[in-house]
Structure 1
Amino acid sequence: MESRREQNMRLKRGRIFRAASDLLRARGFSAVTTQEVSAAAGVAAGTLFRYAATKSELLLMVYNEALRASIDEGAARAALTPDPAAAVFARLHPLVVAAAREPENSAAYQRELLFGPHDAKFRAEGMALIFELEASLSDTLRRAAPTLSDGEARVAGSSLFAVTHLAIARMTASDIPEADAIDDLRRQVTLIVTGVLHTPRRPDPPPEKE
């Protein structure tokens, strides 16, 4: 059973999340202040900072959930797609579409994930989602090529997310149309997956001696 204190904390966090989400989506990261979020959530500024210490943490709190939703959508689409390259693209496509809807916030979110404080709670949660996504991409390739080594699969999964990150960064930082960014990503995914699946297998090198 949930205690009264736990229930109050959950409800306050929900109000903060909804207030931050509404304000960020309506006005953009640069225009929103933590004072506005605390007022909209009906909590004191000190209370807000117990849940998210900075505006960047509020951004990560909100867009981690958006990232999770995009990953779940991509997984559902990939499950219906037998071709490996198409399945990988199906996993990644929702991330680019979501970023195109909110370019300013998406660019800020990527920046905080890459360069935010390493001990920040919500940054760690976001990075965990990315690592899980990379692992799912590696698993897709392993199923298509059972002889793929763990090292090759891991590097390929990281590479596939990297080109997705770059596609989003280029789209949010310039005037590249969404359709062009998505088409470029499709081509890059196809090249990477085709290369991985058709490259002769070699054993992983032994670990270096200290």
Structure 2
Amino acid sequence: MTGLREQKRERTRRQLVDAADRLFRERGYAETTVADIAAAAGVSTRTAFTYFATKDDLLFPDADERVRLAVDALEQRAGDDEPIPALLRALQGADIAVTDLLGDRAALRVALVESEPSVRGHALRRLADAQTAIGDALHRAYPDRYSPVQAAALVGAFVGAASAAAAAVAREAEGMTEAQRHAALTAAVGDALAPWTTERT
């Protein structure tokens, strides 16, 4: 059962994210400060910085948690799991590189990644960090199958395909439902990853 303090923290965190999204749309990213976001969320600037170290972090509030979920999934896999299915389940279960580009805030995030150099750099750094963490976890899970370099290459191929497809779907998502966006993404990623996921005879 979640305690009252944790519920309050999660509520404050969500208020900050919602306020940031609203102000980024209304005023523009560069014109919005963390102090503005804190005021709109009804908290102090100091409090805002205890939740998010930078303004960029407010755009990707759940990224670190999703990476942790993917790493945990690999570490807790069944002993007889083959590496490719295990990796796919870990990435799909955590929605790595997808949630921020296909969710309700997709259009805002894609627009800012494409128009704001600092946001683009932040997004690329987060993606690189995610690939490193998951690649390391894949190597630890299957040390006899993949060297650190091979694991990094495999994870990079999977995450790169998902993130590129998600960004493309988000740009073309006007008029599409959430289910249609995910279906388009699933089909595109499936085609891109066919060389790894299709059984060879």
Residues 100-109 or 83-92, more deviating: 100-109
The 5-angstrom pairing of residues 1-150 of structure 1 reads 16-23=12-19, 27=22, 29-31=24-26, 33=32, 34=34, 37-45=37-45, 48=48, 52=52, 55-60=55-60, 62-65=61-64, 67-68=66-67, 71=70, 75=73, 79=77, 82-94=81-93, 95=95, 98-99=99-100, 100-102=102-104, 103-104=106-107, 106-107=109-110, 114-116=120-122, 128-139=129-140, 142=142, 146-150=144-148
1:5: which partner in 2?
none
- Matched with 2:186 is 182
Letter in 1 for 2:92: H
Q: Distance in 2 between matches of 1:38 and 1:23?
A: 8
Q: Distance in 2 between matches of 1:91 and 1:58?
A: 24
TM-score scaled by length of structure 2: 0.59
For the residues of structure 2 that align with 1:69 and 1:31, how far apart are their CA atoms?
Answer: 33
Instruction: After TM superposition, give the deviation of residue 182 of structure 1 in Å.
Output: 0.9
Alpha carbons 1:97, 1:178 under 8 Å: kept: no
**Richer in helix (by share):** 1
**3-state DSSP of counterpart to 1:79:** coil
Secondary structure of 2:193's aligned partner = helix
Percent identity (aligned) = 20
* Shift in Å, 1:173: 1.9
Counterpart of 1:151 in structure 2: which amino acid? V
CA contact (8 A) 1:171 1:181 kept: yes
Q: Which moved more, 1:171-180 or 1:96-105?
A: 96-105
Aligned length: 176
Structure 1 residues 183 and 138: alpha-carbon distance in aligned structure 2, compared to 1, 3 A threshold: farther
SS of equivalent to 1:177: helix
TM-score, normalised on structure 1?
Answer: 0.57
1:31-57 Cα deviation digits (max 9, x unpaired)? 475455313443344664576565323
Relative to structure 1, the CA distance from residue 166 to residue 30 in structure 2 (aligned partners, 3 Å threshold; closer, same or farther) is same
In structure 1, what is the Cα distance between the partners aligned to 2:103 and 2:184?
15
Displacement of 1:179: 0.4
Whole-Å separation in 2 of the counterparts to 1:82 and 1:117: 31
